[in-house]
Amino acid sequence: MNAQVHPSSVVSPAARLGDDVVVGPFCVVEGDAVLGVRTVLRSHVVVGPFTEIGEDNEVYPQATLGLAPQDTKYRGSPTLLRIGARNVIREGCTLHRGTEGGGGVTAIGDDNLFMAGAHVAHDCRVGSRNVFANNATLAGHVDVGDDCTLGAFTAVHQFCRVGDHAFTGGFTVVTMDLLPYMRTSGSRDTRSYGPNTLGLQRKGFPPEVVESLKRAHRLLFRSGLGIEEALAQAEAEQGNVAAVAYLIRFIREAERGVHRG
């Protein structure tokens, strides 16, 4: 094992450290934790037990990963936190393990950026290439897709879903599912304001796909049609566009409803 551990840090003998891992000053790595190759804990990082961190992650001071969930029903079972590769986890972030009743695993994908103070609660599933701005917060059992941006201080209620490429403004309160591709904002009267046009363009979405999403959004939420009729019409007119088909499927599968325009 070719890992560098600062003498002020405490690493459990049961922990497994991959090659070229760096554990900086005043860190704690508890039993059964796994740090993948080239992962760096800068300083003052706590990694709890039963935490699996993949390769090439970078974790900044005061972050805590894999500690017990903040759930009063939790009774100490060896639940898990799994983190993929190449994530950047900034100062003061908290990512908690799962619970027995929620499947036992909190799962994080690859290439995510968690800015300072971001929080991922128990039993959440977060995909890849997402950006959590400062103090963005997920309650328990939230599912986040890929390529999403949650603005600063966004708070997502438990059991909500966040669709791929969703975007929220700062201080958004999310109590229903967040539509994929759309801009959603609001502290109480939270609404969807149509596709995140600039963001989708930057990610390489063709103009015709963005225009199809705009038309679908107008039809679904501003045509005056009932939601089932609007979904059927959108599917008939543009269901051959993959992004629109995903949007329609996402709405139909929503158990908590969606934040509408």
Of the residues 84, 140, 163, 169, only one is catalytic, namely: 140
Residue 217 annotated in active site = no
SS3 234: helix
How does pLDDT run across 102-150, given as a tens digit for each residue?
999 999 999 999 999 999 999 999 999 999 999 999 999 999 999 999 9
Q: Does domain 4-141 have CATH number 2.160.10.10?
A: yes
Contact 3, 24 (CB under 8 A): no
Confidence grade of residue 56 (pLDDT, cut at 50, 70, 90): very high
What is this structure's pTM? 0.96
Distances (CA, A) of 11 to 15, 108, 185: 7, 23, 43
Of the residues 44, 96, 119, 122, only one is catalytic, namely: 122
Q: Residue ranges per domain, the chain?
A: 4-141, 200-252
Residue 189 annotated in active site = no
SS3 248: helix
- Domain 200-252: which CATH number of 1.10.1040.10, 1.20.1180.10, 3.20.20.70, 1.10.10.10: 1.20.1180.10
- In the predicted structure, residue 216 carries a pLDDT above the cut 90: yes
Confidence grade of residue 1 (pLDDT, cut at 50, 70, 90): low
Residue 127 annotated in active site = no
- In the predicted structure, residue 188 carries a pLDDT above the cut 90: no
